[in-house]
Chain A
Amino acid sequence: MSAPASLTVRVQLEDFDAGAEINRLRLSRSDTGAVVAFVGQVRDLNDGDQVSAMTLEHYPGMTEKSLEQILQQAQQRWDFFDALVVHRIGRLQASDQIVLVVVSGAHRGEAFSACEFIMDYLKTEAPFWKKEETATGERWVEAKASDNESKQRWSNNAPK
C-alpha cells in the first residue's frame, strides 16, 4: 500500500530552491520513476517594452484555496504521487523566479500532463495579478486569450 499523494501549496515573498524541492519529491518514495518540474520567471520584455521589475499581488486566503483546488482537480484526472506549487508575491526583477510546479509519479506521462494542467489552471483561475514597471511607468498586465485557450483544451479530455 503506497502513501497517499501529498499536495503542497505555498505562496511566499521569499525565493525558492527548485533543486531542493525537486529532490524532496524525488526521494519522498522509492517507487517514484519520474519527476516533472516547471519554473516560471520574470522576462525583461513584454508587449515590446523593457520591463525592469514587477509586483505580484494576491488575494490572501483565496489564492491558497484556489491552488489547492487545482491540485485536487489534477489528482482526480491523473495518477501521480506528489504535487507542489510555490508561487511568489511582492516585487520581482528580471530573471527572478515566479512560480514552481513539481509533480512526481511512477511514469512521466501522467506527471507531464498533470504539471501542464496545473499551470494552465493557475494562469486562468488563481487570483494573482502582475503590475509591470517600464520606462514609461507602471502598468497592470492584461489577461491573455491564449491562456484561456490553453485551459480549454483540458475540457475535452475525460478524467481518469
Chain B
Amino acid sequence: MITVLYFARLREALGLSQEQIAVADGAMTVASLMQLLAARGAVWQQEFAGCRLVRAAVNQTLVADNATINAGDEVAFFPPVTGG
C-alpha cells in the first residue's frame, strides 16, 4: 500500500485529501500512478491526463515523473507552489 496525498486546488477539485492505493514494490512510477488516477475518468482525467501542471513528491521530496514508487511510500500531488 502507498498513501497518496492531494493538496490545495487539486484537493478541492478531487474532493479528496488522501487515500491508500495498493501497489507492488517497485512496480510503479509517478507517471504510471498518474495514468492510473487519470483512468478514473471525469475530474481525475482532467487533472492527471497531462493538461494541467501537477507536481509530485515521494516521501516529501520533489521528484520527476520517472521516479519509482515502493510499498509504504507517501506520494503527494499538488499544483505549482505559490508561497512567499
Binding site for B on A (CB under 8 A): 40, 56-59, 61-62, 65-66, 87, 98-99, 119, 122-131, 140-143
Number of residue pairs across A and B with beta carbons under 8 Å?
A: 74
Task: Please determine whether A129 and B57 come into contact, CB atoms closer than 8 angstroms.
Answer: no
**How would residues 58 to 84 of chain B score, 1 for a CB under 8 Å from any chain A CB and 0 otherwise?**
001110000000000000101111111
Which B-chain residue is minimally distant from A142 (CB atoms)? B82
**A59 touching B5 in the complex, CB below 8 Å, given contacts A65-B60, A125-B62:** yes
Task: Please determine whether A56 and B83 come into contact, CB atoms closer than 8 angstroms.
Answer: yes
**B14 on the A face (CB < 8 A):** no
Which residues does chain B contribute within 8 Å of A99, judged by CB atoms?
Answer: 83-84
30 intermolecular pairs with C-beta atoms under 8 Å apart: A56-B83, A57-B7, A57-B8, A59-B7, A59-B76, A59-B78, A98-B83, A99-B83, A99-B84, A119-B84, A122-B83, A123-B83, A124-B80, A125-B62, A125-B81, A126-B81, A126-B84, A127-B78, A127-B81, A128-B82, A128-B84, A129-B9, A129-B81, A129-B82, A140-B8, A140-B9, A140-B12, A140-B82, A141-B82, A143-B82
Alpha-carbon gap, A131 to B79, bound state (A): 12
Binding site for A on B (CB under 8 A): 5, 7-9, 12, 53, 57, 60-62, 76, 78-84
Q: Find the residue from B7, B8, B76, B80 having the highest chain A CB count within 10 A.
A: B8
